[in-house]
Structure 1
């Protein structure tokens, strides 16, 4: 009976409209009380789930992303990208994808990426013949890359939950994220040629030089984060704190685009988002602990092993489950609920937990713009006041592209594992 409650009760509570953290906590408490487990364990598990060192990176990366978006750093990154790709038919769409990749590598937040890049590029896309629906859909979909490209907040949570090296997991996400960006870029170039989108100003070395000079301090953020992590100077968690200090110094004293009151408002906004995520982590800690102690993950592994379906079919089934769940739940909640179930299954099939972590992230990134409840769709709807049904139609080509990429990443492990193997 308790095994059924693990699935049925969360669904019922979600339908009733309870917040995710309450869904997880209520389910855990109800099962706890009906199973006769001492209630005192809740306190230990609840706070223990927040005691992981890598989780410290989450509030710092969220705060760094907010400062970059509002402190002139994101704006200069976008201008720099446009200066490089100018003169190509479809250059503004290319700049949107490239800017999302770069800003995602600086902030780790998908919705933050949509807000920062969309705020800067939507008017230009709309006014240059791309159309509202194409522009909004492109921004919503390309922003999802932040779930995959390091320093992804979703990957931090997966690394903690699956007890894997965060640095190795970050490394594994680099090539898949770039591959998806290249595939989307190929599509927008074809679209721009078919629609005969106007060509922007040609690339000129003097424009690139001026944009590079203006964006030099902004680009330094990427160098600090990645150079520090992969150079062995500091951990990903320490990199998050350094990124905050660096972005404050650049936004306040170099670009002078935020004041101390602005910084206070940005900190409060980041704290609000951090609280929402960590509440989910705490609630999921109780749920995951009870799930593990119930023996369900081991029973699931035994069941799949008995099916003798093999890794190909098993991965296909898990992709379907992850896509379905990812289209309803935010990545942190989906990871904390499903990772304790899916990782043992993957390991039983001799699938690397690092490779599986990338598969997990790609599924959840697709879920960010998958109808009906993709979070980026709602963010774009609120930002640009476009009917959700129009966005649904606009994201279909990107769904197809990302699903093709997902199949490649799933069944060609070297795409994810090439860099980690090289670093070994």
Structure 2
């Protein structure tokens, strides 16, 4: 490896270990590599501008804003109330409410942290009061949040679609079956936990309560139909759908639910901007990183080495999943996709992987990383809501992690599992 290659790999890794934010670590590694290569450092500024001017990137802040508006506008509470009337009387019913509410909210926000925050804020205290251990309540909210990147529209699929230059709409479809399968697995865990710990059931909702919950929750239920119906009906693109989702959430919150106020809007927008700014900064500075990686042929050389060392496709995919899972436990998931994207794509091409199936595998692994100890984003949100330590939630979440790994196995080795809903002839 050349000095530039060492700078981009070992140099970047060293900066991350020292605690530098990922965007700054990437920028410093690229700047050092440019100086070594005697390239004008202004190249980085040009790469940042070009890397941040992709139309599809607009979907990221817009979907994050839509999630914030839905939560502040009371639609997440409506989803919880509706799910409660359907399953609260069953064994593990209140925990199941968290999973079902997260399933629908995921189709609004496209974000694991947003889903965990929206559902956890309401249900972690309620589950603790109903007889569940606080650690289990937090672990269910965290693991249900993982549905956010899998159920369309998904910010993670938007990012991967940009990196891999694949259809974002088709990538959205590849996450539905893995997401629903994970939701079913989490429902089983809820039932088993409540059965084993003799958690008392809640009273069954009357028909009047159920009808009232459906009536009050109709606007929340309509949001995914509007967004996804528009995308697959060819009315608007995924990026335009994100804008529609924001307008919908704003109108419903201000004029229908009336829980959203004009004075609160600047704070809501600022919160969404802070979160999306971190993601977009990583993507922008990674444009220069990717160009230098391609110039040094790091990804290509690694793909050739892997193909020469590992002949079996199943073993190569297993190696990638293990490496990805370990990286996701200590590194930002978006950064992994952006930084390792060219290398992953080269490996997929080398082994003849379908790009949509490979994207589903990558995003499923990224989703697990959101809940995997020690630095999964959703874990820290669960800690903040529940007031528990990382260790307490981590000990409670391992059954859910095992279910996630089963879903990852199915997604990896049964292409039809993820590609089941793809349009005919594609």
Residue equivalent to 2:336 = 334
- Contact map agreement 1:154 1:331 (CA 8 A) in 2: no
Residue equivalent to 1:404 = 406
Residue equivalent to 2:353 = 351
Is 1:140 matched with 2:142? yes
* Structure 2 counterpart SS, 1:368: helix
TM-superposed deviation, 1:171: 0.8
Which aligned pairs between 1:21-420 and structure 2 lie closer than 5 A?
21-420=23-422
Q: Residues of 1 paired with 2:410 and 2:276: CA distance? A: 33
TM-superposed deviation, 1:308: 4.3
Q: Residues of 2 paired with 1:392 and 1:223: CA distance? A: 35
Q: How much is the aligned-residue C-alpha RMSD, in angstroms?
A: 1.3
Once the two structures are superposed, residues 232-272 of structure 1 have per-residue CA deviations (whole angstroms, 9 ceiling, x without a partner) of 11111111000000100000110110110111211111112
TM-score, length basis structure 1: 0.97
TM-superposed deviation, 1:135: 0.4
TM-superposed deviation, 1:109: 1.4
TM-score, length basis structure 2: 0.97
TM-superposed deviation, 1:351: 0.8
Q: Residues of 2 paired with 1:301 and 1:421: CA distance? A: 30
TM-superposed deviation, 1:421: 4.1
- Contact map agreement 1:327 1:364 (CA 8 A) in 2: no
Q: 1:309 to 1:420 in 2, by over 3 A?
A: same
Q: Which runs of 5+ in 1 are unaligned?
A: none
Q: Residues of 1 paired with 2:166 and 2:40: CA distance? A: 30
Q: Residues of 2 paired with 1:166 and 1:222: CA distance? A: 16
- Contact map agreement 2:66 2:245 (CA 8 A) in 1: yes
TM-superposed deviation, 1:128: 1.1
Residue range with higher mean Cα deviation, 236-245 or 328-337: 328-337
Once the two structures are superposed, residues 44-86 of structure 1 have per-residue CA deviations (whole angstroms, 9 ceiling, x without a partner) of 2111111111111111101000001111111101111111113
Q: 1:19 to 1:422 in 2, by over 3 A?
A: same
- Contact map agreement 2:82 2:214 (CA 8 A) in 1: yes
Once the two structures are superposed, residues 192-225 of structure 1 have per-residue CA deviations (whole angstroms, 9 ceiling, x without a partner) of 1111111112143322211010011111111111
TM-superposed deviation, 1:423: 7.7
Aligned length: 424
- Contact map agreement 2:150 2:175 (CA 8 A) in 1: yes
